[in-house]
Structure 1
Amino acid sequence: MTTPPNTTKAAAFRGIWPALLTPLNADLSIDHTRLAIHCKSLLARGCPGVTSFGTTGEGPSFSMTERKEAIEKLIGNGILASQIMVSTSCAALPETLELTQHAVKLGVHGCLMLPPFFLKGVSDQGVIDSYRYVIDRMGEDLPKLKLYLYHIPQVTGVGLSHQVIRALKQQYPDTILGIKDSACTTAHSVGLAEAFMKDLTVYVGFEPDLPEMGRRGSTGAISGLANFMPRLVSRLVTQPDAPTTASERERVIQLIDLLGAYSLMPALKGIMAMLSGDPTWLRVRAPLVALSAEEFKSLERTILAFGINPDRD
């Protein structure tokens, strides 16, 4: 059954907020200049905002100091705070709290937050208590916090059950605005939409599911592929029944299948290096390993054959 779009959640984000790749200097520090240039390019191509330090952005590989400085420099380099979503997820709750307070004080649109992801097999109550730890300590900044729950259990080993989502929304109805579901399972995303879309916006990170979720009221996405094909990703969710949607969805599936031969984040950075002609995009932080010269040449041949059109995609 199709759920009509919820028109009461004006505060929740709309459109495509790319899950930013993080460019690095030779010493593997963050390249703030390239990051700002990349953000401005995406905003110029129609993205309402960008998302920093999520899974695609290697977020947990950077320290609190680095992550704070990066957001401050993005704003200093001309990106509006309201155009930035920050993943403030850390394994240690006090660090998640500190990053969230910092982001909210800067005036960012919102914060994307994982459950703590070091300990596994924790109970629903433990997950609820973890979010409560952060939210209840926001103090005077709580009314400004827009929080998006982030479900990606294949990476974290800790998921967000319906019970957790329902309890948090009931306790913090003005704070919890949405859910990012990156479990990459259509049935799971549809189940979230059927259970919560009337009260929350459910977004998916798996691009082939965007048309189905768009029909069910989803209004946008935080997408890794949107680093280099933001217009196509936007069309999938905002125009789910357009004549071109089926073929564009199949094109995205083909690209994801092609990338399956590589480690995902290094491959996404490889595409950026190829499209920009800038090999510095190949750099990643451990534990990720950059593409070898042979792997990059193979990826380049694959992507050239596939074809990415910056003016259309």
Structure 2
Amino acid sequence: MWATLLLPLNADDSIDFRRLETQAATLAATELDGLYAHGTAGEFQTLTEDEFDRINDLLAATGKPFQLGASHPSAQVQLERVRRAAALEPGAIQVIVPDWLPLNDREVLAFLRRTADVAGEVPLVLYNPPHAKTRVDPQLLRSLADAVPTLIGLKTAGGDKAWFDQATKSGLSIFVPGHFLASMSLLGAHGSYSNVAALSPNGAVRQAGSLDVERRIAEFFAQHVVPLQKAGLSNPALDKFLAAVGDWADVGTRVRWPMASATREQVEAARPAARSLLPELFADSW
């Protein structure tokens, strides 16, 4: 169970590094297996290179196992991020397939091979979310795993039994969203880069295997997350909304321009429902 750093933002969209350092220290003291930065929820596409490096240094200093996302729509920028991230010796580096134009299978393999060469001994995790322009199916996944020995994991939305039956043949660790972890573990998932940890870090760890809690998380999401999603809020905005509902750190709901943010009123409306539906997640503060 891994949790992401979320960017606390000032009114001018600059990162409040004091609040980010406090957030990282709070997460480092939890029961989470590790922390990561620069996924979708970390708004990686908005970061300057100086911000990217500063967040990496902050995360590496927590003493908690950590992974770094080097993702960027540009393959060239991503490769340089991989080079700098590898110097900090994270447990893994998360990468995406370059994302302005879809790539064919040969191009995906070429990208991962060169990226692995730059990463050296640091292993890679392929992040392939549903909105990616290049979708990596289980057959391609197996080919990539065979060709790139340091590719060790897949960060994905998962699938049905037939999908898992094929994807697990790759031998990679398959990590799925936190609100599907209990049910997808029965199909072959190995863990989660968890959105539920945004709501309650320790609660997400302790209730990871509970199908009943998963069912009630789905009920809470249907009441308070899906309406925001339908209104056009992005995944980073939704994860910050969950962190504000959980109230375990001063993250705030603001996301970087031009994305829209959840409101204080929406957060306050959801807090009683979260604690009523999911008391197990909040039994021990965060």
Aligned amino acid, residue 157 of structure 1: K
Shift, 1:266, TM fit: 2.1
Contact kept? 2:240, 2:251, Cα under 8 Å:
no
Distance 2:152 2:206 in 1: 23
In structure 2, do the counterparts of structure 1 residues 270 and 209 end up closer, same or farther at CA, with 3 Å as the change threshold?
Answer: closer
Instruction: Kindly provide the CA deviation profile for residues 8-32 of structure 1, in whole angstroms up to 9, marking residues without a partner as x.
Output: xxxxxxxx11133221223212222
Give yes or no for contact 2:71–2:78 (8 Å, CA) kept in 1: yes
1:297 aligns with 2:265: yes
Task: Tell me how far apart the structure 1 counterparts of residues 126 and 156 of structure 2 sit (CA, whole Å).
Answer: 8
Residue 277 of structure 1 deviates from its aligned partner by 8.8
Q: CA RMSD in A?
A: 2.5
Structure 2 residue 211 is the aligned partner of structure 1 residue 246: yes
Structure 1 CA distance for aligned equivalents of residues 162 and 49 of structure 2: 32
The one-letter amino acid paired with 2:219 is Q
| d(CA) in 2 for partners of 1:51, 1:310 | 25
- Confirm or deny that 1:164 pairs with 2:140: yes
1:261 corresponds in structure 2 to: 227
CA spacing shift, 1:156–1:134, aligned 2, 3 Å: same
Distance of aligned partners of 1:189 and 1:102 in 2 relative to their CA distance in 1, 3 Å threshold: farther
Question: 1:188 and 1:34, CA in 2 relative to 1: closer, same or farther beyond 3 A?
Answer: farther
Structure number with higher relative contact order (C-alpha < 8 Å, ≥ 6 residues apart):
1
Q: Sequence identity, in percent?
A: 23
Which residue is 2:114 aligned to?
A: 133
What's the counterpart of residue 13 of structure 1?
none
Alignment partner, residue 22 of structure 1: 7
Q: Which residue of structure 2 lines up, in the alignment, with residue 230 of structure 1?
A: 201
Unmatched tracts of structure 1, length 5 or more:
1-15
8 Å contact 1:189–1:204 — kept in the other structure? no
Equivalent-residue separation in structure 2 for 1:204 and 1:69 (angstroms):
28
SS across alignment from 1:281: coil
The one of 135, 141, 147 aligned to 2:124: 147
Structure 1 residues 85 and 277 mapped into 2: Cα distance closer, same or farther (>3 Å)?
A: closer
Alignment-derived partner of residue 311 in structure 1: 284
Secondary structure of the equivalent of 2:112? helix
Where 2:204 maps in the other structure, the secondary structure is helix
Aligned partner (choices 129, 136, 153) of residue 178 of structure 1: 153
Q: Secondary structure at the match of 2:87?
A: helix
Tell me: CA distance 1:159–1:310, structure 2 relative to 1, closer, same or farther (3 Å): farther
Instruction: Provide the rounded CA distance (Å) in 2 between the counterparts of 1:163 and 1:20.
Output: 32
8 Å contact 1:124–1:161 — kept in the other structure? no
Contact 2:138–2:167 at 8 Å: present in 1 too? no
| Paired positions, count | 275
What are the Cα deviations for residues 103-140 of structure 1, in whole angstroms up to 9, with x where unaligned? 110121111111111113x311222222223223x1xx
Partner of 1:113: 95
CA displacement, residues 135-162 of structure 1 (integer Å, 9 cap, x when unaligned): 23x1xx512x11111111x322221122
* C-alpha contact 1:49 1:83 (8 A) present in aligned 2: yes
The secondary structure found in structure 2 opposite 1:148 is strand
Q: Which residue of 1 aligns with 2:27?
A: 42
- Give the Cα separation in 1 of the matches to 2:147 and 2:248: 49
Please point out which of 62, 69, 79 is paired with 2:54. 69
Deviation at 1:286, TM superposition (A): 2.0
Do the aligned partners of residues 42 and 24 (structure 1) sit closer, same or farther apart at CA in structure 2, a change above 3 Å counting?
Answer: same
1:253-289 CA distance string (max 9 Å, x none): 1222220111243243234335449876122112311
User: Which one-letter code corresponds to 2:169 in the other structure?
Assistant: A
SS for the counterpart of 1:282 is coil
The 1:55–1:188 alpha-carbon spacing in structure 2 relative to 1, beyond 3 Å, is farther
**TM-score, normalization by structure 1:** 0.78
Partner amino acid for 2:62?
Answer: I
In the alignment, is the contact (CA less than 8 A) between 1:117 and 1:157 conserved in 2?
A: yes
User: What is the CA–CA distance in structure 1 between the aligned matches of 2:166 and 2:176, rounded to whole Å?
Assistant: 10
Pairwise CA distance, 1:167? 2.1
1:148–1:180 Cα contact (<8 Å) kept = yes
- In the alignment, which residue of structure 2 is the partner of 1:204? 176
